[in-house]
Structure 1
Amino acid sequence: MRRFDDAVGTAVAADRRLLLGLTGAPGAGKSTLAERLVARARTAHGPASAVVLAMDGFHLANALLTAIGRRDRKGAPDTFDDAGFAALLARVRHPVAGRTVYAPRFDRELDEPIGSAVPIPAACPVVVVEGNYLLAADGAWPDAATCLDEVWHLALPTADRQERLVARHVRHGMTPAAARNWVLGPDEANAVLIDASAARADAVVTVD
């Protein structure tokens, strides 16, 4: 947390926006840590000082994934609008005074993205960006990464991470058997890709 506090303090003092990326395999705890960091920044610098921007808002719609034959591996790199994500991050990286950027978010109950759901005012000094592919080497993902000041990779023991994922999928309507099959199939294939990019992170955070 000290590293985060120092980065936020420096950004606020310099009147420069901080974009911190959190990446890691599905179930590693990215969303949880992002919310904690934002709450910490808001406590220190006010309620309008920080916001979470989640890459999941750039999921392609289910109908489109079905139409292009990718619905059965939703969550893979090519099931996101990577170019759209990079373009929005570029706008967030270079705020224009008086203008708010509106980012999408992912609704887990609907299992769909919702556009223009997260306001990011120009005066907001801290944006915590979380997502699976912030360090991916293909497509437009590297363009997105250039907008970030730092990227932290979250590491969690595989068994613990998988159990978290199974529980999450069950909460959102899957049967336990279907949830485990998805976790050991598409989710784990994506985890292998994500963990392979960990060497490019500025820091590796061990989650317990």
Structure 2
Amino acid sequence: MTSLDINRSYEQSADVRAALEKIQAYATKSHRTLIGLTGGPGSGKSTLADYLIDYFSKQKNTSVICLSMDGFHLSKAQLRALPNDDEAFARRGAPWTFDSLGFIERVKKIKQGYRQEDIFWPSFDHALGDPIEDDLSITKDTKVILIEGLYLLHQQDGWHEARRLFDEHWFLDIPVEIAIERLAKRHMQAWNFSHQQAMDRINQSDGLNARLVATYKEQADWLIRV
């Protein structure tokens, strides 16, 4: 599916239109609003977040930013320092391979920083495979902040405080089988894998994470279906 096809599908989606309306309404409030967007690997979280931010970048008087929790991956050096480093590399992307406490502390700063101070946020360099600290800036006047990630509703591995920091939680409700097939196609394109090779890789990590994340959806305030 091309980016043009994706944009058309979003434009035709009642749930995406509702998301735009919700964000627009929050942008008129006198306080800062934090929205969590959860979904499994391959569900389309990043693509939807990109669409939302592109839409609002063209609107006047709407201060919105979309962030990813990917910048809180433990670095390769941190993974190597773990006693189970081989398992950590094999399972990179599991909830315990992120800096959950660092994520929570940064979100707290964002929550408290409205009209007080600009806050920096890490990104993730996929070419290097490591986070880039303080790569993004959230200005003190930003009204609506959407953060997308796998484990915003996770209740273990140090993530349990994250849930209460958000004003609203959205869950991108895509069947796990569809998300996994998307991942397989990505792997086939990126590494010239056969479908079986892609599935073997997915079943070692992303597939496990996808099935775990799917158990969170009943905790969300709103299920988005595209």
Q: How many residues align?
A: 206
Once residues 62 and 170 of structure 1 are traced to their aligned partners in structure 2, the CA distance between those partners, rounded to angstroms, is 24
Q: Structure 1: where are the runs of 5+ without partners?
A: none
Q: In terms of mean alpha carbon deviation, does 28-37 or 163-172 score higher?
A: 163-172
* Structure 2 residue aligned with 1:22: 37
2:207 aligned with 1:198 = no
Q: In 2, distance between residues paired with 1:124 and 1:19?
A: 10
Question: Residue 130 of structure 1: which of 119, 129, 148 is its match?
Answer: 148
Among candidates 34, 37, 45, match of residue 52 of structure 2: 37
Alignment TM-score, normalising by the size of structure 1: 0.89
1:166-181 residue pairs with structure 2 within 5 A?
A: 166-173=184-191, 175-176=193-194, 178-181=197-200
> Match for residue 63 of structure 1?
77
Q: For residues 119-140 of structure 1, what are the alpha-carbon distances to aligned partners after superposition, in whole Å with 9 as ceiling and x for unaligned?
A: 1001111211000001001143
Which contiguous aligned blocks of 4+ residues in structure 1 show a shift greater than 6 angstroms? none
Task: Kindly state the Cα deviation for residue 153 of structure 1 after the two structures are TM-superposed.
Answer: 1.1
Alignment match of 2:207 (pick from 175, 188, 200): 188
How big is the alpha-carbon RMSD for the aligned residues of Structure 1 and Structure 2? Answer: 2.1
| Percentage identity across paired residues of the two chains | 33
Change (3 A) 1:94 1:130: same
Taking the TM superposition and a 5 Å limit, the aligned residue runs for 1:99-118 are 99-118=117-136
Query: Aligned pair in 2 of structure 1 residues 8, 36: CA closer, same or farther (>3 Å)?
Result: same
Partner of residue 54, structure 1: 68
Q: In structure 1, how many angstroms separate the alpha carbons of the residues matched to 2:137 and 2:68?
A: 12
Structure 1 residues 171 and 120: alpha-carbon distance in aligned structure 2, compared to 1, 3 A threshold: farther
